[in-house]
Structure 1
Amino acid sequence: MPTIGELGKTLLDNIGVVLRGGPDQPLPPQTFLTWCRPGIPLMPEDLDFAENGIFSAQTAEGQKMLANHAFSFANLMDYIPSVGANYDNAAQEASYAAKGGMRLSEMYHEILKASKVVHHELTEEEQARLKRCRDFLETTTKVQDLMSGEMTEQSQPSAAVRAYDNAMAEWLIARTNRGNKLAAAQAATGAAGLPAVADWNANHEVYEMQLDLATRKWAAEGYRNMVDQARAIIDQTTLRNMALWKQSLLERYAKGRVAHIDSGSTFPYTTLVPGNVAKSRGWTTYTHTHEHRSISTHQESTTWNAGAGVGFGLWSFGANASGESHDMGIDVNTNSFTLSVELAQAVVVRPWFYPEFFVNRGWTLRPGDGWNFDGVPSDGANPPSGLLVGFPTQVILARNLTITSEEFASSYDQASSRAGGGGSVGWGPFRLSGGYSHSESSSSLTVDRRGASITSNGMQILGFVNHMLGKTPDPLPSIPATDFA
């Protein structure tokens, strides 16, 4: 008879398998998951800026609303994940505080400013090729500054890069669906698991074809090869002279910030692809029962999750009326347990951010000479340590969560009574009820408790797929120290 905590661990392992496309798919290189603890609630209208564009409103009031939603989302995403650590209540709430710690955008900007880059003059042909690649990957548009009313330039991904991101999002949908079907079949046991096994036996070719079609569409219509080639050319060319590239990245960073009237500041614009993910059909239903076995090996689970544990035996509470966040342990045996949830993934897009800079080996940082932090961005160890070991590339979304279990429902009642007025209740990466205590968001989840079933229909962010940086910086040993300026 498993405990609620043991069920949660198996559930998390299997969701990881779904996300990577199935137990037969290798782990993505340099990738780790960060789970929210608990999930971050989102209303569909919170992403209206991503669906319609941040400057698409017809009225001043509408424009302020779009900017507020974009500001809130950018703050949530402007954090630096730590390997083996959750994005917990404290970190989520701190993302809106003035002193919430070093943000991803700030650290990236500091690295750009302080970096010493290799400097050798490029030929006219190389400069022209570099410009063609940059123009292919990005564009600028004139928009009205929300505070001053003046027209300013904003950096945006080019049409080719937007097609690349959209095609990648469709590929993620197909991969997730294929992974869900295969994971369900392999984890199935007993009579209840028969439909999942039969579905895979009968339709596996369809799921494989959908993934293959999405892969080919990414290459044909999403400019996959051309975008990847342009980025590779930039990396190769700037290895000789990065001064011009660095300056363009600093300009891109400045143009990627948007004015926010309410705070009187600017923020790094961050969006999702597909922007209409809340309304799209790219959701797959995942079902888990107490009879399901883990289909992820210990090594795979540890690598993918990077040793992180979300503590399913612990119930988490967001800030209540007294402003406290805390955990409480309630882990009981359960005779029966069924969880059903819809899952989706979306690609994180940051027009101001160019992570290819990190893998380039023509730059370095010199302590005391522009670089005034203790330590480096990443030491490249396993697991890595540093000021910027990785960044989120995809968002894991969930909605229409239903859990049916007498023991679980009873534990939720105990946890809910401890939450206090205005508090939120979470189990693992799932937020069952409540929202934020800060003033920038009104998003929250309400729970429907009926008998042994607990239902939370709202949408929430369960976690993030992150790219892990190698040793950063890592200049080529063959480049003399005098070549860096």
Structure 2
Amino acid sequence: MSLDERIALTLYDRIFQVISGADPNSGMPSAFESDKTMFVLAQRGMVLNAADYRNPWSPGNTDGSIQAAFNIASLVDEIPAMNHMYSPTGRSVSDVYSKMVRMVNVTEPPPPPEVQRRRDELKKVLVERVKDDEGRDVERPTALADKEQQAFNNYQDAYMAYVGQWAAAQADPNLKKVWPVVGAQALQRPKRAFADWGAAGRDEVAAVKGELATQNRSQVARAFADAQFRLLAYELVNELQETFFRTTISPSDWAGADASTWPQFTFSESTLKSDFSAEATSWGASAQVSVGLWSFGGGVSSSDSRVSMSGDTTDVSLSFRWRICPVYRKWMDGTLFKLPNWDVGTMTGAGGIAGGPDPLMPLIPQALVIVRDVRVSANWSHQDSEHIDSAISGSASVGYGPFAVSGNYSHSSTSDKFGAQRTGQGFVIPDIQVLGFVCTKVDPCPPK
């Protein structure tokens, strides 16, 4: 296997291990449900202009930018195909979901009054309806639900940072030797976060959600009616009169945070893997990493041409700061996908949203994998030095594995360009870029 392939597939597997794996000795639950999660990695990252996403408008920040709120919603709205390599379908989560909710036909008799009353009682634990500044009825989480969600966010962040440290230690013989001591110290943060999550109402909220899911199976019409109200409550319009649904990414300062606090990923040729997961192999085949790490032209899911690194390039090492940033759509009710006795008329048939051939929404992005301060160094050959010079000039769109080295900013209304910076040993890419998405596999629906 070529060096190009080993670098690319090692990178996929290390990130995948943090997302789906867990330290078996930690005793802590994983941050994501591995059986319902797929990691899709771009052929080339999407570099973002951080200024486009800072200070978004929210009910608690009415002086914030509506356009930034729109940009965040748009960034995570594209539906990927069911593939380990990121390939947008051209459809959006908000469009498919909102049409599903608004076009639904429910085919079941109304439930008994006592069932309706119990469902209403359970909902009051999680959400409340209030008036906004304009006097409109809106829905928001109760103080308990909001506190529990924030505590879960903190645990999710702490646990993923810990697993990142654990995965790095397993790949480095020197770090692995001291991990029993270092790991015990590192585990204290997620343990405290897990305890805080419990104190914030974890078990109570889980019990309510579990019973509510059962009640919803006999109150499908009410569940969809509530979903329609929730859509309206989170609907916004930007300066260009474009409608969107307010979506948030955690942590709130992800676009402007001090990256020195982020976990660091580092590897060199000596720590590259030689055997890989089926997921990494699938991604590598779609991304054509066997053809080479250097890519020219194209974008996140294709390139015009690819070139292998020269055999004269040696001692390649790579490092970056990275985070996995969860996405929250309070306007979406994911339990609807599991409910019986509904269809969407002419929109699509059974399994047409998920589960059938060519579904409209097989995956929903639930977290961003973002990196900053990507540094690549080596003893470069003359040929590879020329590739770096081409990227530094900014005159071409260039990628190195899943990293964008130069080109135009993604999801930007401007035509501004970015480019790597030369270092004595290679190059550095300081900008934030999205390498891929952690996605939830949507339950098969509509039901048969």
Q: What is the TM-score when the length of structure 2 is the normalising length?
A: 0.84
Structure 1 contact 399–457 (Cα < 8 Å) conserved: yes
Alignment partner for residue 332 of structure 2, among 347, 353, 369? Answer: 353
Q: Offset at 1:405?
A: 1.5
Deviation at 1:81, TM superposition (A): 1.7
Residue 214 to residue 20, structure 1, CA distance change in 2 (3 Å): farther
Task: Measure how far apart 1:167 and its partner are.
Answer: 2.3
SS in 2 for 1:279: coil
Stretch of structure 1 that moved more, 348-357 or 25-34: 25-34
Q: Deviations over 1:346-372 (max 9, x none)?
A: 211112111111122x23326xx3435
Map 1:64-463 to 2 at 5 A.
Answer: 66-84=65-83, 86-87=85-86, 91=88, 101-140=90-129, 142-143=131-132, 152-188=136-172, 193-194=173-174, 196-221=175-200, 223-261=201-239, 263-277=240-254, 278-279=256-257, 283-294=262-273, 297-299=276-278, 301=280, 309=287, 311=289, 313-317=292-296, 326-332=303-309, 333=311, 334-360=313-339, 362-365=340-343, 369-372=345-348, 376-379=352-355, 385-407=358-380, 411=384, 413-414=386-387, 417=390, 423-436=396-409, 440=413, 445-463=418-436
Q: Is 2:20 the counterpart of 1:20?
A: yes
Rounded Cα–Cα distance in structure 1 between residues aligned with 2:304 and 2:427: 20
8 Å CA contact 1:118–1:241 kept in 2: the answer is no
Distance 1:301 1:417, change over 3 A: closer
Unaligned 5+ segments in structure 2 are none
> Per-residue deviation at 1:56?
1.9
CA distance in 1, matches of 2:221, 2:130: 24
Cα contact 1:319–1:423 (8 A) shared by 2: no
Partner deviation per Cα, 1:302-345 (whole Å, 9 max, x = no partner): 69x6975473725445679xxxx843211123421111111212
Q: Which ranges in structure 1 are unaligned for 5 or more consecutive residues? A: 92-99, 145-149, 476-485
Cα offset for 1:410? 5.1
Task: Kindly indicate whether the alpha-carbon contact (under 8 Å) linking 1:117 and 1:243 is maintained by their aligned counterparts in 2.
Answer: yes
Number of equivalences:
435
Q: 1:425 to 1:107 in 2, by over 3 A?
A: same
- Give 3-state SS (helix, strand or coil) of 2:271's partner: coil
Distance 1:302 1:168 in 2: 32
1:34 corresponds to: 40
| Separation in structure 2 between the aligned mates of residue 209 and residue 23 of structure 1, nearest angstrom | 14
Report what 1:11 is aligned to.
11
Taking structure 1 as reference, are residues 437 and 74 closer, same or farther at Cα in structure 2, changes over 3 Å only? closer
Aligned counterparts of 1:113 and 1:219: Cα–Cα separation in 2: 36
Q: State the alpha-carbon separation in 2 of the partners of residues 218 and 173 from structure 1.
A: 12
- In 2: Cα distance, 1:205 partner to 1:423 partner: 47
Q: Counterpart in 1 of 2:61?
A: 56
- Are the aligned partners of 1:71 and 1:267 in contact in 2 as well (CA < 8 Å)? yes
Identity %: 23
C-alpha change, 1:199 and 1:460, in structure 2 (3 Å) is farther
C-alpha distance in structure 2 between counterparts of 1:136 and 1:288, whole Å: 47
- 1:68 CA displacement: 0.8
TM-superposed CA distance for 1:67, in Å, is 0.8
1:473 aligns with 2:446: yes
**Is contact 1:181–1:200 with CA below 8 Å preserved after alignment?**
no
Q: Deviations along 1:268-312, whole A, 9 cap, x unmatched? A: 211112212342676211111111133875346469x69754737
Distance 2:153 2:281 in 1: 26
For residues 113 and 31 of structure 1, what CA distance do their matches in structure 2 show? 27
Distance (Å, rounded) in 1 between the aligned partners of 2:152 and 2:385: 38
- Shift of residue 267, structure 1, vs aligned partner: 0.8
C-alpha distance after superposition, 1:133-160 (max 9, x if no partner): 333333455556xxxxx65444444443
* Distance in structure 2 (CA, Å) of the matches to 1:107 and 1:75: 14
Question: 1:449-470: per-residue Cα shift (whole Å, max 9, x none)?
Answer: 1232211122222211111123
Q: Distance in 1 between matches of 2:140 and 2:414?
A: 26
TM-score between the two structures when normalised by the length of structure 1: 0.78
Report how far residue 420 of structure 1 moved: 8.3
Deviations 1:140-197 (A, max 9, x none): 55556xxxxx654444444434333332332232222322222222222xxxx52x22
Conservation of the 8 A alpha-carbon contact between 1:37 and 1:316: no
CA–CA distance in 1 between the matches of 2:55 and 2:137? 18
How many Å separate the matches in 2 of 1:310 and 1:141?
Answer: 52
1:22 shift after superposition: 4.4
Whole-angstrom distance in 2 between the partners of 1:407 and 1:231:
56
Provide the aligned C-alpha RMSD in A: 3.4
Q: Is the contact between residue 436 and residue 442 of structure 1 (CA under 8 Å) also seen in structure 2?
A: yes
